[in-house]
Amino acid sequence: MPQRSSDDQYRLAFESAPTGIMILSADGCVLMANPAAARLLRSTPADMLSRQLTLPDGSNRERLITPDERMVEMRTTPIIWELQPALVATLIDITDTLQVDKLQKALDRDVEIIRQLRTLDRARNQLIEMATHELRTPMTPMRSAIQMLLSGRLGALSDQQQQVVEMMSRNVERLSRFSSDMLSLSRLDAGGQTIQREPVNLATVIHDAIGLFQQRFDEAGVSLKVAPSAPILVWADADALSQILINLLENTLAHASPAEVKVSARRMDDVWAELIVRDNGCGIERQDLPAIFERFRQLKRKRGPGYQGSGLGLALCKELAERMDGQIIAESTTGVGTRFRVRLCRVSAGDDDTDDGQSLILERPGSTTKRQRIREILLRSKKNRTNSTEDRDG
């Protein structure tokens, strides 16, 4: 077999090289191009001849854009070709590399933004913790002084004085609710308040809440009723579920102007159960319903003392319900009333069907029972009307 000459070997290597290679004149005219170079530039070796290319200015690299908008980088090296100055150019498709670099830079920016947002979030939570603490500190002596005035221990009050002191009491209560809701949401956001799901009897939560709220509803002239229900066990955090019911009752009493409020529980199916708070008050406009669970969202409210909310109560209800793998649903018709449904997962079909509701209060030796914990969280809600529980809560 005859041996190939050196020129033939060089030409074979040139033609078969997987990398695009071209020989350019000193002014950028294509003198020779291999098939790989022609493919990269979407042409043929014959059509590439005498094609004029833009040479790198001040460097040995130039980027070319193909007809189908691919990016090709041309790198040149000076050579002598047929006794004349020339350039050998290699071509590399860098389109995918550029896209990866672009995505990486975008990812790096997003990571930095997330880092900054987390830093701001921590600072916000620290500020809320500090602010709520500073708000709570003076409220204890203020509440004590107001209670002493209202009790008559410092002397009888005139009708005008009584009205002023009651207005002070309402505003202290509003400030207390605001700081408590802010602190709860801040701790949930920061992961400082953990939700521990365990079997909770809905009947127990309702019973204890009604016992503590009955007097307030009676004073407001609102009928507070409980629909009879067999014991129903759900997977929930006892404190969180009690807080949801507290906020719903507070919200209904403050904003709905109802004549009657009814609290009930029901099994939906083998998986879900619901805690329901229904009123026959003024209702909520249809267009406002999607926004009622947003933070600091305040809808049209009844004017007058005692009705200025913070817009956090229902947002906290939604957050707590979702942390327990449940949901809260609002349904309302203006002029007819509103129904809030807190949907939670049942423990299991049949496990909550027992004649003795007290037997459903699960205990561990030496631990606090669910009923005690539920009463504690409900009693904390009554701190707006007493001065003892604020010290313990703070």
Q: Does domain 194-393 have CATH number 3.30.565.10?
A: yes
Among candidate residues 238, 240, 244, 233, the one with its CA nearest the CA of residue 346: 233
The strand order across the sheet containing 30-33 reads 30-33, 20-25, 84-93, 71-81, 61-65
Each residue's pLDDT tens digit in the chain (394 positions)? 455 567 778 788 888 888 899 999 988 899 989 999 988 888 888 888 888 888 877 677 888 888 888 888 888 889 988 888 999 999 989 888 889 999 999 999 999 999 998 888 777 777 766 777 667 777 778 888 888 888 888 888 888 888 888 888 877 777 776 777 766 666 666 666 677 888 999 988 898 888 878 888 888 888 888 887 778 899 998 888 988 998 898 888 877 678 889 999 999 888 999 999 999 888 888 888 888 888 766 665 444 444 455 567 788 888 889 889 999 999 998 888 899 999 999 987 544 444 333 333 333 333 345 455 555 555 555 554 444 334 434 3
Domain with CATH 3.30.450.20 in the chain: 6-93
The C-alpha atoms of residue 288 and residue 298 are separated, in whole angstroms, by 10
**Pairing, β 337-345 against β 327-333:** antiparallel
Structure tokens, 289: 């319903």
Domain with CATH 1.10.287 in the chain: 116-193
The C-alpha atoms of residue 194 and residue 171 are separated, in whole angstroms, by 30
Question: What separation, in Å, do the N-terminal and C-terminal C-alpha atoms of the chain show?
Answer: 99
Assess contact for 74 and 53: CB atoms under 8 A.
yes
- CATH superfamily, region 6-93: PAS domain (3.30.450.20)
- DSSP designation for 368: -
Assess contact for 199 and 234: CB atoms under 8 A.
yes
Q: Does domain 116-193 have CATH number 1.10.287?
A: yes
Assess contact for 260 and 225: CB atoms under 8 A.
yes
Q: Which residues face 71 on adjacent strands?
A: 65
- pTM greater than 0.85: no
Domain with CATH 3.30.565.10 in the chain: 194-393
Give me the sign of the Cα torsion angle 202, 208, 210, 212. negative
